[in-house]
Amino acid sequence: MKWSDAHLTDVLVIGAGLAGERVAIEAATQGHQVTILSLVPPRRSHSTAAQGGMQASLGNVAMGYGDNPDIHFADTVKGSDWGCDQEVARLFCNLAPVAVRQMAQWGVPWSRVVPGKRLLPEGVEVEELQEKAGLIAQRQFGGTAKWRTCFAADGTGHVLQYAMDSVVVKLGVTVHDRMEAIALIHDGEHCYGAVALSLRDGSLRPYLAKAVVIATGGYGRIYGVSTNAVINEGTGMSICLDTGVVPLGNMEAVQFHPTGIVPAGILVTEGCRGDGGYLLDKNLHRFMPDYEPVKKEVASRDVVSRWMLHHMSKGLGVDSPYGPHLWLDIRHLGKEHICVNLREVHAICANFLGIDCVEELIPVRPTQHYSMGGIRTDVNGAAYGLQGLFAAGEAACWDLHGFNRLGGNSLAETIVAGMVVGEQVARYAGERSLEFPFALVADAMAAQEDRVSKLRSRSGGSEDVYRLRKGMEDALLNNVGIFRTGEALEKAVSILQELYQRSANIRLRSSGLGPNPELYAALRLPGTLKLALCIAQGALQRTESRGSHYREDYPHRDDENWLKRTLAYWPPGADMPRLEYEPVKITELPPGDRGYGGMPIKGD
Amino acid sequence: MYLQETLAKSPRWEAWMELIELFTGLFLLVFLQFHMLAVATIILGPAAFNRDALMLDEYYLSYIGIPLVILAIIVHGLVALRKAPWRYKEMAIFIQHSRRLAHLDTWAWFVQIITGMAVLILAAIHIWNTLSTWPIEAAKSAFRIQSGSFSNLFLLLLIAEIHAMVGLYRILVKWSWIHRQKFTKWLVYATIGFVALGFIALVVFYFLDVKGLT
Amino acid sequence: MSRFLNFSIFRYNPATPEIPPRMQDFQLDETPNMSLFIALNRLREEQDPSLMFDFVCRAAVCGSCAMLINGRPGLACKTLTQDLPDKITLMPLPVFKLVGDLSVDTGVWFRGLNENLEAWIHTDKPFDPQGLEDRMDNPTAHAIYDAERCIECGSCIAACATANMRADFIGAAGLNRVARFLIDPRDERQPYQVFEVVGTDEGVFGCIGLMACDDICPMEIPLQQQLALVRRKMALASLKGK
Ligand SMILES: Cc1cc2nc3c(=O)[nH]c(=O)nc-3n(C[C@H](O)[C@H](O)[C@H](O)COP(=O)(O)OP(=O)(O)OC[C@H]3O[C@@H](n4cnc5c(N)ncnc54)[C@H](O)[C@@H]3O)c2cc1C
Ligand code: HEM
Ligand code: HEM
Ligand code: SF4
Ligand code: F3S
Ligand code: FES
């Protein structure tokens, strides 16, 4: 390593999605020099794929009049099945409207209220008032008492990310794309920066900063079939876990979205159901009202997904070469609505299914979608365990979502957390001076250089990285899905453990020189296997059902024993995570009934 | 930002060149189509043709019009060719790219450049011919056509019409708010119409009894 | 009726310059509903793990995976092999810097473009966290969204002969970006204020109306109309001055 290769900056933000960029903007406007690392150019981050919208209690539309942060708060806590941190939820609900309006000022073309009467698909007539004309429009999402989800047709994430990045460009924030952080530089107390791998040429480079922020998004791809982008492998979480002192929170809380298309697993937005779409079975029967008479298709995601699987297990799914699925029917919404407000859905159906959803049914099945768990932080976004390390967005367990995230709360979280955490990062960086701990940096670099050159020398064992990866995907998909049992989880843990051991013996088939995808995959795999183990082990230990975590052998929520958050640590050299627990902070709303999702529900 | 470019840059002129290209193109287009209609009066008989020629003469339209057209051709040619791939490397890239892409509109631009240069040569000869036997009379024209100009004029007809109509298409594409698909068909019909009319006129000239006229 | 597909794929690894750029052949059996995303991943996992290409969303929304598919730029993730002949040639996009094999660096290019165009909302209005949002009528919001849908995939740039010949041309994506800000009432810039950058031969007057961009844009952005809008506004600005 040449010392001159080191990149010095005040604030290092790892991840250029909405959360990362929002943090960067906050820190940069407060006068800090900020550098962002990203696997891909910021505008290709996974945030752009969000279609549906972002929740904020503006109360602009007829079905949302009277909405306020209190109602949003109650929805969020119920949605989380009381697993969220209520202090965080409160802060979040109060700030969400500010976030939406600021994004409007930065250029997001939110869809707007058009005054006049209109008929909802359910047959109810509503009137949008003249006095609200031109304000930001809102649509219905699952698990909410009011229509609260702000949207821009159905490319909400895209326009948010573009507006956000335009501010990053405006401020001249440095972005190094195709740079993957593969290890943190720390001494067990402070975090000083990260070692990054250039995906342009496979070289390594140290980044040093006063404060490091992880905003690397979710890990959906370790499930193989997921609505997530292929870059969502959770590497940001795994490098934190690697430190041995930073814990991951609630990794067993994995969200499955009800409507991933079959077989590609691409998401069609919850807006489809929010706007009045139905779920049908093989007899074209609309079954959700049978299970959830009040919320029907728009109960929270965990509940709808479970009922769908339950319904399919009764033999009422539609058979296909790719296994059974159900139908999503949006035909009755009309061509105009579909082609304007659900335009991406229309395109997805045309491109990946070859069907026209104005006239045909969409084959869907619950699909891995979101990770509630992540790097555990306090309300300020400061990670547990290391000073100077922060986390925000899907990568973090700030704990707004507990055991189930409401649709539309995640985009809002990325931006609100970006504001809040950015503020704290700026303050922290303002109080510290930049250090250059030569020995630490040299050691961290040497350790990574060693890994890379070992792989390139192809001297190790004989394991194939893609084969091991496939094993991990299958183990999770088959055993750590929507319906979980102790037996399956034990099996998953033992498979994953074995794979983790074998991952030390990977041998590249190619040279590993230059921008080599096999090398990258081999460097990532041990870390992702660790995440998989945290998920499986956390799920095995949690002997209750809460939100998305559903144990067929423990089908009820157990507040007495389990109103607590899992913290997974990975002690250096260990082959299993160490689990600890902390209480969940309840400030306003004591545990109660969600009002939907009656238990138990039978799987197969 | 580079010094040499900054000093040489005059954005106003870059815009004005574009407008000059547009208006000379439009002007020549209008001229050409009127000219085609005027020549086509031969179909109605030499008398009609001669009357038209005389009329233009009487109102001095020729004396203003002809120099104007010649000027327009020169200016138009110079301006329109400013973006042609003159350098060998550009040309090679263009050809390679267009072959790979197999895209009609991209080729159409190339056609525009080639036809433009062909028109320059053919029209120059043609204008020289007509002006050297001034004034315009059906008999003189017929004589020329029967004594060898037929194929040259037909070629000019074809090339000029293609160039003009592709030009009109490209103007609409670049400046109008109407979607291409809506007008492409009509432009093709119009081109065929004008070429047919011109061809008939040429045939009539060809079989015209020159001796009977003089 | 399953076919054998013959792929011919451009290979070059800058780390091994001694091996010159070349086309390499691969064979693969076709499966139902196979996209180039699936095909390329299988080739990488089963045949050549060093094969470089970029996918992120694999759902045609992120713009990462544009490449030349049988000569034409397109998004590989949404291209189904069933719509292609059994001989498939894949090459990286021209104009952009090559990272390796099918992977090109569009990110740096677009960042430069957006800096150059100052592609952000210019406004002096301070943000009031307590206030209501400014109103906008829904058709205006939709018109902005229409232009904003560009995913910066670079297909229009790669398809444009002008952009291929002239490195400094901002291309259809750039001009569309300009249109997006020109129609946005929140941006206080007047056309003459972007004239220096856009009303030039590197800008809209460099475009010679080849329309490959309009034919190829995978987001089906109405580029013909957007480009014409900018052209009219810039021509007008050149006549009016300030
Ligand atoms: C299909 C889909 C639709 C969705 N729709 C909605 C919706 O309608 N409403 C809603 O609220 N939520 C929605 N979500 C969820 C929401 O989009 C995400 O949770 C959110 O965008 C995450 O943002 P983020 O900034 O945390 O991470 P991301 O946007 O995922 O960004 C992660 C960034 O980190 C970078 N990165 C990752 N690892 C590294 C590393 N090791 N080194 C350097 N950089 C790294 C990546 O390059 C990327 O820039 C949806 C999710 C999916 C999958
Ligand atoms: C009667 C004669 C002519 C007519 C009616 C005519 C008409 C047109 C029209 C309408 C256009 C489109 C203009 C635009 O895109 O703005 C055009 C373009 C062009 N013309 Fe002509 N033209 C004539 C003669 C010529 C000649 C003599 C030349 C060459 C020496 C020429 C070269 C070109 C070229 C190269 C273009 C393409 C320019 C571009 O789009 O970049 N034309 N012409
Ligand atoms: C500006 C001066 C011009 C004059 C005075 C003029 C005059 C004439 C005359 C008299 C004829 C009849 C045939 C003949 O005498 O040869 C004719 C035919 C023709 N001219 Fe011109 N012309 C002019 C310019 C042009 C230009 C610029 C073009 C094309 C770009 C053109 C294209 C033709 C064609 C294609 C014919 C054949 C007509 C037919 O097929 O019906 N002329 N012109
Ligand atoms: S305009 Fe279309 S083709 Fe061009 S970059 Fe944007 S999405 Fe891609
Ligand atoms: S292809 Fe190129 S020349 Fe103009 S119309 Fe499109 S940018
Ligand atoms: S992978 Fe995102 S557009 Fe193809």
Please give the backbone phi and psi of residue C93, each rounded to the nearest 5 degrees, phi first.
-65, 140
Q: Is residue B145 part of a domain?
A: yes
- Nearest CA-CA partner of A26 in A530, A421, A303, A550: A421
Asked if C222 is an interface residue toward chain B (Cβ–Cβ < 8 A), one would say yes
Tokens matching residue A346: 């229309």
Long-range contacts of B82-91 (CB under 8 A, 24+ apart): B82/B17, B83/C162, B83/C201, B83/C206, B83/C208, B84/B113, B85/C165, B90/C165
| Separation CA A204–CA A37 (nearest Å) | 13
Beta carbons of B11 and C199 less than 8 Å apart: yes
User: Does the annotation count A376 as an active-site position?
Assistant: no
**Which protein residue's CA is at the shortest distance from atom 3 of ligand 5?**
C207
Average pLDDT over residues A163-177: 97
Is A178 in Cβ contact with C149 (below 8 Å)? Answer: no
Give yes or no for residue C64 CB within 6 A of ligand 6: yes
Structure tokens at A221: 């791809």
pLDDT digit string (tens) for chain C, length 242 residues: 579 999 999 999 999 999 999 999 999 999 888 899 999 999 999 999 999 999 999 999 999 999 999 999 999 999 999 999 999 999 999 999 999 999 999 999 999 999 999 999 999 999 999 999 999 999 999 999 999 999 999 999 999 999 999 999 999 999 999 999 999 999 999 988 888 889 988 999 999 999 999 999 999 999 999 999 999 999 999 888 76
Q: Do C127 and A102 touch (CB under 8 A)?
A: yes
H or E element in which residue A78 lies: helix A69-79
Tell me whether residue B2 is in a domain.
no
Asked whether residue A460 carries a pLDDT value surpassing 80, the answer given is: no
| B1 in any annotated domain | no
Distance from the B69 Cα atom to the nearest Cα atom in chain C, whole angstroms: 24
CATH, residue B133: 1.20.1300.10
Look up residue B18 and give its two tokens: 């574009």
Rounded to the nearest 10°, the torsion over CA A125, A129, A134, A140 is -40
* CA angle B205–B207–B213, rounded 5-degree value: 75
The better pLDDT of the pair A598, C33 is held by C33
Determine the average pLDDT of the residues in A293-313: 89
Do the Cβ atoms of A160 and A22 come closer than 8 Å? Answer: no
Domain that holds residue B65: 8-213
Instruction: Give a yes or no: residue B3 inside a domain.
Output: no
Pairing of strands A138-139, A149-150: antiparallel
Q: What is the pLDDT of residue B213?
A: 63
d(CA B204, CA B207): 5
Span of A38-42, A430-434, A521-525 with lowest mean pLDDT? A430-434
> Residue A43 is nearest to which of C121, C132, C152, comparing CB atoms?
C152
Across the interface, of B83, B94, B173, the residue whose CB is closest to C211 is: B173
For all residues of chain A together, what is the average pLDDT? Answer: 94
Closest CA to A295 of A270, A327, A326, A314: A270
C236 touches chain B (CB under 8 A): no
Tell me the ipTM for this assembly: 0.93
- Which residue of C49, C56, C149 is in closest CB contact with A155? C149
**B23 φψ region: left (φ > 0), alpha (ψ -120 to 50), beta (else):** alpha
Distance (Å, whole) CA A449 – CA A434: 24
Q: Does A166 touch chain C (CB under 8 A)?
A: yes
- Quote the pLDDT of residue A496: 98
In DSSP notation, A214-250 reads E-----GGGGSSBSS-TT-S-HHHHHHHHTSSSPEE-
Cβ of B173 within 8 Å of Cβ of C209? The answer is: yes
Give backbone dihedrals phi and psi of A298, rounded to 5 degrees, phi first.
-110, 30
Domain-located, residue B171: yes
**Strand ranges for A21-150 from DSSP E:** 34-38, 54-55, 116-119, 125-128, 138-139, 149-150
User: Which CATH architecture group holds C4-104?
Assistant: Roll (3.10)
Which one of 1.10.1060.10, 3.40.50.1000, 1.25.40.10, 1.10.10.10 gives the CATH number of domain C117-240? 1.10.1060.10
Ligand 2 lined by B82 (C-beta under 6 Å): no
- Confidence check: pLDDT of A68 > 60: yes
pLDDT at residue A604 is higher than 50: no
Instruction: Give the chain A residue whose CA is nearest to the CA of C118.
Output: A170
Q: Which of B213, B214, B167, B156 is nearest to B190 (CA)?
A: B167
Q: Hey, where are the domains in chain C?
A: 4-104, 117-240
- Nearest CA, atom 12, ligand 2: B167
For A578-590, the pLDDT digits (tens) are 999 999 999 999 9
Query: Which of helix, strand or coil describes residue A323?
Result: coil
| Cβ A556 vs Cβ A263: under 8 Å | no
Residue type, A344: E
Name the packing angle between helices A517-541 and A465-479 (round to 10°).
Answer: 30
Overall domain count for chain B: 1
C211 vs B100, B105, B175: nearest CB: B105
pLDDT bin (cut points 50, 70, 90) of residue A5 is: confident
CB proximity under 8 Å: B 70-129 to C = 83, 85, 90, 93-94, 97-98, 100-103, 105-106, 109
Asked if the Cβ–Cβ distance from C78 to A352 is below 8 Å, we say: yes
Residue B150, domain member (yes or no)? yes
Q: Cα(C66)–Cα(B100) distance, rounded to whole angstroms? A: 16
CB contact under 8 A, B109 and C161: yes
A in contact with B (at least 3 C-beta pairs within 8 A): no
Nearest partner of C42 among C66, C26, C59, C24, judged by Cα: C26
Active site residue A176: no
**Residue type for position C62:** C
